[in-house]
Amino acid sequence: MASMEQAHGSNQLSDKEKTAIGEAMKEAESLILAKNKNAKATSNQDEQVVFVTGFMKNICSKDMYITKTSIFDGEREFMDPPAKRILGYRAGMFVHMSLPLSHSKGAIIYDHAPNGSDPDLGWLLAWDKSNDFNKVYVEAGTLDRINKIPDSVITQKLAVSGNISRFWDSETGASVAAEIKKWDSSMSLLVVTFDQVM
């Protein structure tokens, strides 16, 4: 329980997290223009839809695998689905679009296979984007604990979050930091870094 108390502290990013998010943001911005054009080309702009382009950076040495996706609002499928596997020190992307006059709102859980006595870790990323706001919520720890978080709890935590979120689990060292920001009138860029610091 100590990890949960310690983990829910300030949403101020550490210097290491600021650097990692900043580097990932630059990398994402260089890739986002093509994704943005493709996403907008497939939608009817008169319908007032919003997009989230997610850029997920694995700053661990171990590969990560998608465990679960949930879409709470918006299109039922991703326009560009999240990577099923993110290699160590590599990145993955996704694009999700809202329904007309709605939100892009969902969650993704990643894990990595345990190695020897290492615990099976999980990282949760959740977002909510409308024309009025951008919100992100993250959590990390044992995969068993992360998988047991009900969708209703994720959406409650997301509702009270802001545009920056961070979580560090002192028991496992799993950490995650994220920022979502407006890119243009209809799209937001969501950048997240997954790590394990012991």
* Rounded Cα gap, residues 196 and 198, in angstroms: 6
- In CATH terms, the fold of domain 2-40+49-196 is Mutm (Fpg) Protein; Chain: A, domain 2 (2.60.270)
Find where tokens 């996704």 sit. Answer: 94
Find where tokens 């997009």 sit. Answer: 51
* Rounded Cα gap, residues 52 and 95, in angstroms: 6
What's residue 115's pLDDT?
Answer: 67
What's residue 2's pLDDT?
Answer: 40
What's residue 86's pLDDT?
Answer: 96
* Rounded Cα gap, residues 17 and 195, in angstroms: 10
What's residue 36's pLDDT?
Answer: 56
Domain boundaries, the chain: 2-40+49-196
Cβ atoms 176, 56 nearer than 8 A: no
Per-residue pLDDT of the chain (198 residues; tens, 9 = 90+): 444 433 444 567 788 888 888 787 777 777 666 655 555 555 555 568 899 999 999 999 999 999 999 999 999 899 999 999 999 999 999 999 998 888 999 999 999 876 666 779 999 999 999 988 999 999 999 999 999 999 999 999 999 999 999 999 999 999 999 999 998 888 899 999 999 987
Cβ atoms 61, 113 nearer than 8 A: no
